[in-house]
């Protein structure tokens, strides 16, 4: 693509980013890809602001595909080194380096870099950034399975958000704490935090995520009806935002799939009406959840209307149902 090559030659980072995916599709040989990577790495070090990190992210993904993620991470380190004399830019570079470690599944390394960033934020007494970084560190400790440390750090972040009057991040920290306590098996403590979130004024993203954690708590008690009520409330609230709805719908279908995989067909048959009733005004999603209910009956060997309802389900929603309908492979099938 001439547009891409010209942009690369004149070092126009934004245009390079715009055409990069299309250009990559035309590369067939690995040596050509590696030659391009060298040029892109040189360009990143000359880019300014967000473009530099967006391009670094794309390059890192290519190296991850080549099973050489260390080379992608090295690029973030070079950016940080370049900005060491400018504390503001250096702090930003450290954040992106830590985020890259986090994104590519290296929480221990992410923590090390976030702690460097934390020192700088405390040095300039930036409590808002300190609280955000504490929250990031907490999430990475949770990834490592150290829930006590995760709770300790998230609680400190919560205190700072409360002190600053930052209600949105305060509520998000409560949701994270609820999730950590749920993971720890202390579901009553988790429920306390969720109640606190849901009684406060909130935006749709906060309510949706609170409902998802609430569903986890009910599920841990085998209270699937209450779990489905929480999930349906989350899904209905998320309809106002396409991206949020996709994320929530995926969470809902993952949960339903787990119940099918566990053979909990009776529980599914008895509770899927929660979704059917919630989507009474939406024929497509109503049919989708009805079909799942009828599939549960089919799996139980009960009389059902699966085929009739399935025919009303839109094509784009049928793939999920088709996968669930396939018989399980047991030892006799192998």
pLDDT tens, the chain, 334 aa long: 788 988 989 999 999 999 999 999 999 899 999 999 999 999 999 998 899 999 999 999 999 999 999 999 999 999 999 999 999 999 999 999 999 999 999 999 999 999 999 999 999 999 999 999 999 999 999 999 999 999 999 999 999 999 999 999 999 999 999 999 999 999 999 999 999 999 976 789 999 999 999 999 999 999 999 999 999 999 999 998 999 999 999 999 999 999 999 999 999 999 999 999 999 999 999 999 999 999 999 999 999 999 999 999 999 999 999 999 987 654 443 3
pLDDT of residue 331: 42
**CA–CA dist 128, 146 (Å, integer):** 24
Cα distances (Å, whole numbers) of residue 301 to 35, 260, 296, 330: 60, 14, 9, 18
Q: How many residues does the chain have?
A: 334
Query: How many Cα atoms sit within 13 Å of 88 on the Cβ side?
Result: 1
pLDDT of residue 201: 64
pLDDT of residue 327: 77
Block residue for tokens 């290296």? 106
**CA–CA dist 143, 81 (Å, integer):** 28
Query: What is the number of other CB atoms lying within 10 angstroms of the CB of residue 90?
Result: 19
Contact in structure between 90 and 84 (CB atoms under 8 Å) = yes
Contact in structure between 79 and 92 (CB atoms under 8 Å) = no
**CA–CA dist 248, 31 (Å, integer):** 41
Q: Which two tokens stand for residue 30?
A: 């690995």
Sequence-distant (6+) residues with CB within 8 A of 288 are 313, 314, 317, 321
Report H helices in the chain: 2-9, 13-25, 30-44, 50-65, 69-82, 87-103, 107-123, 127-143, 147-164, 167-184, 187-198, 204-220, 224-238, 242-261, 265-271, 273-278, 283-300, 306-310, 315-325
**CA–CA dist 30, 258 (Å, integer):** 40
pLDDT of residue 105: 97
Contact in structure between 176 and 154 (CB atoms under 8 Å) = yes
pLDDT of residue 330: 47
Q: Which two tokens stand for residue 72?
A: 């992608």
Q: Which two tokens stand for residue 62?
A: 């290519």
pLDDT of residue 2: 86
pLDDT of residue 328: 66
Q: Which two tokens stand for residue 55?
A: 């391009």
pLDDT of residue 48: 87
Nearest to 62 by CA among 75, 52, 50: 75
């Amino acid at each position: 693509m001439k547009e891409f090559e010209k942009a690369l030659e004149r070092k126009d980072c934004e245009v390079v980013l715009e055409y990069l995916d299309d250009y990559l599709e035309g590369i067939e040989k690995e040596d050509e890809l590696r030659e391009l990577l060298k040029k892109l790495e040189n360009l990143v070090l000359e880019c300014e602001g967000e473009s530099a990190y967006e391009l670094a992210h794309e390059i890192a993904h290519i190296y991850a595909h080549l099973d050489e993620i260390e080379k992608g991470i090295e690029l973030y380190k070079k950016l940080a080194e370049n900005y060491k004399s400018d504390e503001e830019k250096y702090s930003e570079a450290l954040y992106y380096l830590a985020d890259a470690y986090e994104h590519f599944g290296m929480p221990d390394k992410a923590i090390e870099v976030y702690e460097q960033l934390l020192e700088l934020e405390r040095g300039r007494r930036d409590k808002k950034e300190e609280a955000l970084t504490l929250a990031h560190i907490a999430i990475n400790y949770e990834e490592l399975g150290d829930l006590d440390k995760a709770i300790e750090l998230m609680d400190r972040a919560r205190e700072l958000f409360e002190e600053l009057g930052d209600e949105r991040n305060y509520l998000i920290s409560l949701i994270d704490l609820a999730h950590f306590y749920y993971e720890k098996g202390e579901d009553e403590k988790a429920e306390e935090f969720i109640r606190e979130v849901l009684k406060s004024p909130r935006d749709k993203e906060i309510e949706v995520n609170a409902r998802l954690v609430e569903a986890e708590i009910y599920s841990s008690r085998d209270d699937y009806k209450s779990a489905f009520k929480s999930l349906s409330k989350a899904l209905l609230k998320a309809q106002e935002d396409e991206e949020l709805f996709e994320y929530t719908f995926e969470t809902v279908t993952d949960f339903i799939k787990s119940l099918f995989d566990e053979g909990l067909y009776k529980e599914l048959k008895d509770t899927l009406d929660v979704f059917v009733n919630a989507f009474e005004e939406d024929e497509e999603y109503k049919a989708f959840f009805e079909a799942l209910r009828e599939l549960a009956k089919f799996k139980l060997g009960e009389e059902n209307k699966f085929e009739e309802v399935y025919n009303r389900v839109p094509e784009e929603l049928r793939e999920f149902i088709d996968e669930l309908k396939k018989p399980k492979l047991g030892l006799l099938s192998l």
